[in-house]
């Protein structure tokens, strides 16, 4: 048995976690959905450790929602790997508050690095707030170089799209904000990829979260394959819900 460590500094939070069987695909490699989930979870751990729990932020009517993620997989983690996951705030870019991540194995090898853009939202009105209106704490920046591209806008072409079918949002998809949990989008993407790509681990993964998907809504999925990349879009009743780009 081992004791896992966690560390809180002025501008970072680190914690060791074992990658469990359920985090992985049938080849025992970390699923993209699991890596996305860890990013959302560790952002929460960071603020929890500073006394800013989701309940407190909700009461202050200022919560964070993920807008975009860019992820680079240097070495895909596998079942039973123990990872040290570290997250840092990284200031503001336009209307977004930024946060970065690294996942390192016990040999010190960088496995995953990621950058993310978040929006500040009033959970009652769903109105987007300016980052400058955040009152809970001063925002910090990361002074470490993160080996990952910036999040970017993902657009599918108008022609040559594959109709991938439809995916209904069910009860088990929902999180505490009442919408489709951000990590679950990774599983949706993988469930609708061509079979040969499902068996591969991506080198990079990008996702844009555009509109909330809620219980009972149906997403119409379209895809576009180009070389070693695959783009996918999920369209809900009010337009684009998400777009994703897989780079293999």
Residue 1 has pLDDT above 70, yes or no: no
Instruction: Specify burial of residue 156 (Cβ count, 10 A radius: 0-12, 13-18, 19+).
Output: middle
Select from 160, 167, 213 the least CA-distant residue to 190.
167
Cα-based distances in Å from 167 to 196, 215, 236, 243: 21, 11, 10, 14
Structure tokens at 236: 């809900």
Calculate ∠ Cα 197-36-144, nearest 5°. Answer: 110
pLDDT tens-place string over residues 52-104: 999 999 999 999 999 999 999 999 999 999 999 999 999 998 889 999 999 99
**Strand locations in 78-226 (E):** 82-93, 96-104, 110-121, 128-129, 162-168, 204-209, 218-226
How far is 160 from 156, CA to CA, in rounded Å?
Answer: 10
User: Could you give the residue ranges of the DSSP H alpha helices within the chain?
Assistant: 32-49, 54-59, 184-192, 195-198
pLDDT tens-place string over residues 152-178: 999 999 999 999 999 999 999 999 888
Confidence of residue 3 (pLDDT cuts 50, 70, 90): confident
């Amino acid at each position: 048995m081992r004791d896992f460590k966690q560390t809180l500094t002025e501008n970072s939070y680190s914690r060791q976690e074992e990658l469990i069987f359920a985090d992985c695909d049938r080849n025992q490699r970390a699923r993209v959905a699991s890596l996305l989930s860890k990013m959302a979870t560790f952002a929460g751990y960071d603020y929890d450790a500073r006394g800013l729990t989701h309940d407190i932020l909700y009461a202050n009517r200022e919560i964070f929602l993920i807008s975009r993620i860019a992820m680079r997989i240097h070495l895909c983690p596998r079942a039973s790997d123990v990872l040290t996951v570290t997250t840092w705030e990284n200031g503001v870019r336009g209307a977004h508050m930024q946060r970065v991540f690294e996942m390192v194995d016990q040999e010190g090898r960088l496995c995953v690095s990621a950058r993310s853009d978040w929006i500040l939202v009033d959970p009652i009105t769903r109105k987007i707030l300016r980052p400058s209106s955040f009152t809970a704490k001063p925002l910090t920046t990361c002074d470490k170089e993160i080996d990952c591209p910036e999040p970017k806008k993902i657009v599918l072409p108008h022609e040559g799209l594959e109709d991938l079918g439809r995916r209904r949002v069910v009860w088990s998809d929902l999180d505490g904000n009442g919408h489709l949990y951000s990590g679950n989008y990774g599983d949706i993407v993988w469930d609708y990829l061509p079979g040969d790509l499902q068996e591969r681990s991506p080198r990079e993964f990008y996702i844009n979260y555009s509109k909330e998907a809620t219980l009972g809504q149906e997403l119409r999925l379209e895809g576009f394959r180009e070389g070693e990349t695959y783009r996918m879009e999920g369209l809900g009743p009010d337009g684009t819900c998400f777009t994703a780009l897989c780079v293999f």
